[in-house]
Amino acid sequence: MTRPRTLYAKIWETHLIDERSDGSCLLWIDRHVLNEGTSIQAFDSLREAGLTIERREMHLAVADHAVPTDERGGPLPAGTRSDRILQLERNCTEFGIPHIPYLSTRQGICHVIAPEQGFVLPGMVAVCGDSHTATLGAMGALGFGIGTSEIEQVLATGTLIQQPSKTMAVEINGILGDGINAKDVILHLIGVIGAAGGTGYAIEYRGSAIEAMSIEARMTLSNMSVEAGARVGMIAPDEQLIQWLHGRALTPRGAEWDEAVAYWRTLPTDPGATFDRIVQIKAADIAPQVTWGTSPEHVVAVGAAVPDPESFADPTRAAAAARALAYQGLQPGTPIQAIAIDRVFIGSCTNARLSDLRAAANVVRGRHLASHVEGFVVPGSTRIRRDAEEEGLDRVFIEAGFEWRHSGCSMCGGAETAPPGTRIAATSNRNFEHRQGRDVRTHLVSPAMAAAAGIAGHFVDIRQFGKGRA
Amino acid sequence: MSEPLTIVEGIAAPLPLKNVDTDIIWPGLPGLSLRRGDQARNAFARLRFDPEGAERPDFILNQLPWREAKILVAGSNFGCGSSREMAVWGLVEWGMRCVIAPSFGDIFFNNACLNGLLPVILPENAVEAILATITDPERSVLKVDLVAMRVTGSGFNLPFMLDEHRRRCLLHGLNETGATLQQIETVRSFGKSYADRFPWTRIEGEKIA
């Protein structure tokens, strides 16, 4: 009998090429996704050093951070952002790397399309020069974000030098309440363990609430692991995931599919395997969450109020809270539901998949944005946009007063911003200072909560919203 | 690749904030170059400069002696958030060679060690004491010794830890790509057995894009 192992350990061990005496490990990388934001300098370095690509077919490039989402089809507007998109395309052509063009029907946010295309599969190690690569953990893969120096290593060698992480089990058992989204689950977790709670750990989400979650919801959860400090947020592959992957463009076929599935079924953490830390959360304790500050750990349930910085015992936390409230223009004690918003942003690699758009559309159908609120819906991929249009979701949003846009990172990554002072209910992942534009105030929420805030003009409890209506 | 680092001695600047994210360290302002060598002005750009580009005199890193700092001392979870390596390039090009904090974002920590920026983890109470010390201009000089693994300053001498691999990267300015390419035959032979074991991980290039 081999000793019981975690999902993380199983994947790590099958990819271990060499372990050095200093504790560093050379890891085989199966898949690498590139975007235009962080890869340019890596290609420059390869060129300067005269290096070539070790395994071309393991890479897939797509532009997402800089793409305009207001119009698609015409020439790119002049400017540095467009230059980055074109430079990515030139780099991929020069180095022979597979690339989804900006105008392709397969374009989308890299962490949305990598699973959508079946590019990343259970048991793989997948990396990308973006911290939200943690999303790929929902594929039962070991996915993590890397820097530009590491992008260069992956391009030139197909490997990375890494050190094993500690492991953390986040066990969520029970049944999530009505109206509770995976976004609320991850924000609640960050509220419990803090924005640095997962630093140095690879998280594995486990428990009956995770098993019951759709694959798209699991991606929301894994995605924001990095906001809890963890580079990695994995979920064991199960029959639901295998069904979800079947038939996608890049998944194996025939006998290879059967072989893969048989292997995937061996991946879940063995009974008796141990974790360095275990965090247990009752699903029933999770209410809709709203962030009030400038770190994702600045979060409370929708029924609560903005905390008083003086209520934090730790002086650095108190100072951070005071700074956050000054930036956010909020007074301690203000009920969350009394905070009026100017804009709704439904998008990002966290919450712009079809189920997210459906959840938001169900809230706004037959209603209209409050008169002082603007709304933007930015689908996570061009395919999601098309699928949503086939269901008529575009009409629902447009009739409610939203702009229906093309796929890209948009108002999450800072490529598209709001005027100073705008207060946004956002389904994205970061409420950092100036993240959505200079002096813009971000509140992170689920898609349904964002949509409801847009209709009401202020935050509302989605569990009470529209009660009595069909 | 990066400049070898053994001892960093110089002014240390206090930044007593928690969760300083890489958007703060390197804001993705419109029109910014993403390339190495262009980043010195972009480090902490929103804290150092007003929207018109003038220096903010109230920001400590614009004040003497701290504007000459080689060392930054900050609160926990420094460098959390985005993977953008420009955050590290910006700090190094601006003149920083060391950041001391109770904890760091994992990706930032890695990026720092690959670019000649030494991340030093010290306990929260030690960092608080150092922050208080260096706020006095007369006591703002620190010495961080990567050979002896100690941080010394006015009235203290503290040990720190760093794993041996990252320590060697910093001491010698190592380039991991170059080191791995020397082992490429080992990598390729691993790849052959890996493909035999997991044939379904292969992908045909023409299928992808």
Interface contact flag, B187 A157, Cβ < 8 Å:
yes
Q: Residues A156-202: pLDDT tens digits?
A: 999 999 999 999 999 999 999 999 999 999 999 999 999 999 999 99
Nearest CA in chain B to A15: B194
Interface contact flag, A147 B204, Cβ < 8 Å:
no
Interface contact flag, A432 B200, Cβ < 8 Å:
no
A431 lies in some domain: yes
Best probe of the A interface among B84, B115, B202, B203, by most A CBs < 10 A, is B203
| The pLDDT value given to residue A70 | 94
Q: Residues A194-206: pLDDT tens digits?
A: 999 999 999 999 9
Chain A residues with CB under 8 Å of B174 CB are none
Indicate if A121 and A193 belong to the same structural domain. Answer: no
A257 lies in some domain: no
Number of A–B residue contacts, CB under 8 Å: 210
Interface contact flag, A252 B200, Cβ < 8 Å:
yes
CA distance B131 to chain A (A): 12
CA distance B127 to chain A (A): 11
Chain A residues with CB under 8 Å of B202 CB are 57
Indicate if A419 and A308 belong to the same structural domain. Answer: yes
Q: Is the peptide bond before A271 cis (omega within 30 degrees of 0)?
A: no
Interface contact flag, B115 A149, Cβ < 8 Å:
yes
CA distance B1 to chain A (A): 10
Indicate if A130 and A214 belong to the same structural domain. Answer: no
Q: Which of B175, A87, A174 is nearest to A185 (CA)?
A: A174
Interface contact flag, B208 A147, Cβ < 8 Å:
no
Q: Which of B11, B8, B2, B7 is nearest to B140 (CA)?
A: B11
**The last residue of a domain, from among A162, A180, A212:** A162
User: Which of A67-71, A209-213, B33-37 has the largest mean confidence?
Assistant: A209-213
Chain B residues with CB under 8 Å of A195 CB are 19, 77, 80
A250 lies in some domain: no
Bridge partners (DSSP) of residue B71 are: B12, B98
Interface contact flag, A131 B35, Cβ < 8 Å:
no
What 8-state DSSP symbol labels residue A129?
S
Pick B132 or B204 by higher pLDDT. B132
**The last residue of a domain, from among A162, A179, A196:** A162
Quickly tell me which residue has 């030098």 as its tokens: A161
CATH number at residue A182: 3.40.1060.10
Which residues contact residue A159 at a Cβ distance below 8 angstroms, ignoring those fewer than 6 apart? A17, A26, A27, A28, A29, A153, B180, B187
Is the separation of the CB atoms in B80 and B108 below 8 Å? yes
| The pLDDT value given to residue B189 | 98
Q: Is A226 helix (H, G, I), strand (E, B) or coil?
A: helix
Chain B residues with CB under 8 Å of A263 CB are 198, 200
| The pLDDT value given to residue A73 | 87
Q: Which of A401, A388, A379, A383 is nearest to A358 (CA)?
A: A388
Domain residue limits at A393: 289-456
Is the separation of the CB atoms in A80 and B31 below 8 Å? yes
Indicate if A327 and A376 belong to the same structural domain. Answer: yes
Best probe of the B interface among A34, A148, A428, by most B CBs < 10 A, is A148
Interface contact flag, A156 B165, Cβ < 8 Å:
no
Interface contact flag, A148 B85, Cβ < 8 Å:
yes
Q: Residues B130-166: pLDDT tens digits?
A: 999 999 999 999 999 999 999 999 999 999 999 999 9
Report which secondary-structure segment, H or E, holds A442: strand A441-444
**The last residue of a domain, from among A162, A178, A204:** A162
Q: Residues A240-289: pLDDT tens digits?
A: 999 999 999 999 999 999 999 999 999 999 999 999 999 999 999 999 99
Give the other-Cβ count within 10 Å of A272's Cβ.
8
Indicate if A280 and A339 belong to the same structural domain. Answer: no
Residue A19 in tokens: 């372990």
Give the other-Cβ count within 10 Å of A405's Cβ.
22
Interface contact flag, B77 A41, Cβ < 8 Å:
no
Is the separation of the CB atoms in A238 and B113 below 8 Å? no
Question: A182-193 and A215-223 helices cross at what angle (nearest 10)?
Answer: 30
- Is pLDDT above 90 for A461? yes
Give the other-Cβ count within 10 Å of A325's Cβ.
21
| The pLDDT value given to residue B1 | 63
Indicate if A440 and A305 belong to the same structural domain. Answer: yes
- Is pLDDT above 80 for B22? yes
Indicate if A17 and A102 belong to the same structural domain. Answer: yes
The mean pLDDT of chain A is: 96
Interface contact flag, A157 B177, Cβ < 8 Å:
yes
Q: Which of A334, A308, A336, A335 is nearest to A322 (CA)?
A: A308
Q: Does domain B7-208 have CATH number 3.20.19.10?
A: yes
Chain A residues with CB under 8 Å of B168 CB are 22
Is the separation of the CB atoms in A394 and A404 below 8 Å? yes
- Domain count along chain A: 3
Indicate if A95 and A208 belong to the same structural domain. Answer: no
Nearest CA in chain B to A19: B165
| The pLDDT value given to residue A469 | 46
Q: Residues B26-56: pLDDT tens digits?
A: 998 777 888 899 999 999 999 999 999 999 9
Chain B residues with CB under 8 Å of A131 CB are 81-83, 107
Q: Which of A133, A35, A148, A152 is nearest to A85 (CA)?
A: A35
CA distance A368 to chain B (A): 33
Q: Residues B74-85: pLDDT tens digits?
A: 999 999 999 999
Q: How crowded is the C-beta side of A365, counted as CA atoms within 13 Å? A: 12
A245 lies in some domain: no
Interface contact flag, B46 A434, Cβ < 8 Å:
yes
Q: Which of B48, B51, B55 is nearest to B24 (CA)?
A: B48
Interface contact flag, A259 B36, Cβ < 8 Å:
no
Indicate if A149 and A177 belong to the same structural domain. Answer: no
| C-alpha torsion sign, points A314, A166, A150, B200 | negative
A273 lies in some domain: yes
| The pLDDT value given to residue B209 | 63
pLDDT band, residue B174 (cuts 50/70/90): confident
Chain B residues with CB under 8 Å of A79 CB are 31
Best probe of the B interface among A86, A131, A154, by most B CBs < 10 A, is A131
Which of A61, A320, A414 has the CB atom closest to B19's CB atom?
A320
Domains of chain B, by residue range, sit at 7-208
Which of B77, B186, B198 has the CB atom closest to A196's CB atom?
B77
Chain B residues with CB under 8 Å of A51 CB are 177, 181
Task: Give buried/exposed letters for B11-43 (b at 16+ CB in 10 A, else e).
Answer: bbbbbbbbbbbbbbbbbbeeebebebeebeebb
CATH number at residue A423: 3.30.499.10
Interface contact flag, B31 A231, Cβ < 8 Å:
no
A182 lies in some domain: yes
CA distance B54 to chain A (A): 16
Q: Residues A293-316: pLDDT tens digits?
A: 999 999 999 999 999 999 998 888
Pick B54 or B174 by higher pLDDT. B54
Indicate if A449 and A304 belong to the same structural domain. Answer: yes
Indicate if A412 and A424 belong to the same structural domain. Answer: yes
Is the separation of the CB atoms in A329 and A358 below 8 Å? no
End-to-end CA gap in chain B: 33
CA distance A226 to chain B (A): 7
Q: Is B207 helix (H, G, I), strand (E, B) or coil?
A: helix
Indicate if A301 and A274 belong to the same structural domain. Answer: no
Report which secondary-structure segment, H or E, holds B62: none
The mean pLDDT of chain B is: 94
Nearest CA in chain A to B127: A316
CA distance B39 to chain A (A): 12
Q: How far apart are CA B187 and CA A26, in angstroms?
A: 9
Which of A23, A231, A259 has the CB atom closest to B165's CB atom?
A23
A281 lies in some domain: yes
A84 lies in some domain: yes
Interface contact flag, B18 A163, Cβ < 8 Å:
no
